[in-house]
Amino acid sequence: DIQRVGDYRLTPTGRDEAARLRREERELATDVALGLGLPELLRPWMTEGQRRAIADPLRALRLALDEGHPSSAVGAAKDLAEATCKVVLEGAGQPASLSGSLPSLFKQAFAVVEPTAELDASLGRSLGAAAQALAEMRNTAGAGHGRAAAIEVLDRHARLAASAACAIACFVLDGHERPRS
């Protein structure tokens, strides 16, 4: 790290350049975690309200990852997964509980997308476990709950939460759009 050099005086320009390089590195890690297909989560069939419901946590997730706020990223990742499940449920005419947990919302959305093969079912069960872990991570360390002491959330945890949320979102959206036989 360039700021750890003890025998040298850093200039404001040098500090700015080091900050720029660290920001670019974080942004690249964000792109890797989320994939470059983020706009693909916003589908043509969605209402404007549904698009905003997904775009807002996506924006918050990207910002939190880019700015190096892992606790906020974990919270935004859970928000994204929840919003996507609710959009799919709404699109299928199923009521989504406003107070439902992420695992129960995912289970409802998964039932709506009607897995057609054992692979779908197997992936769905795995993503259900990921939804449970994401909810637990958010409750333990994510932004949104007041705490007596801060809990350390590493960047890698935040990127994993982001990847899990995007996988959940893609899976239920793709299943919702699959032509029915």
- Predicted confidence at residue 34, as pLDDT, reads 64
Give the pLDDT band (50/70/90) at residue 37: very low
Count of C-beta atoms within a 10 Å radius of residue 99: 5
| 118/131 Cα distance (integer angstroms) | 20
Find all residues with CB under 8 Å of 61, minimum gap 6, and list them: 34, 73, 76, 77, 79, 80, 162, 165
146 or 127, which is more confident: 127
Class of residue 115 by CB neighbours under 10 A (exposed 0-12, middle 13-18, buried 19+): middle
| 105/169 Cα distance (integer angstroms) | 12
- Predicted confidence at residue 8, as pLDDT, reads 57
DSSP 8: S
Which amino acid does the sequence have at 93?
G
- Residue 109 pLDDT more than 80? yes
Give the pLDDT band (50/70/90) at residue 177: confident
- Residue 78 pLDDT more than 90? yes
Between the two ends of the chain, the Cα-to-Cα distance in Å is: 57
With a pLDDT cut of 70, the percent of the chain lying above it is: 82
CA distances from 36 to 40, 41, 50, 101, 164 (A): 9, 11, 21, 28, 15
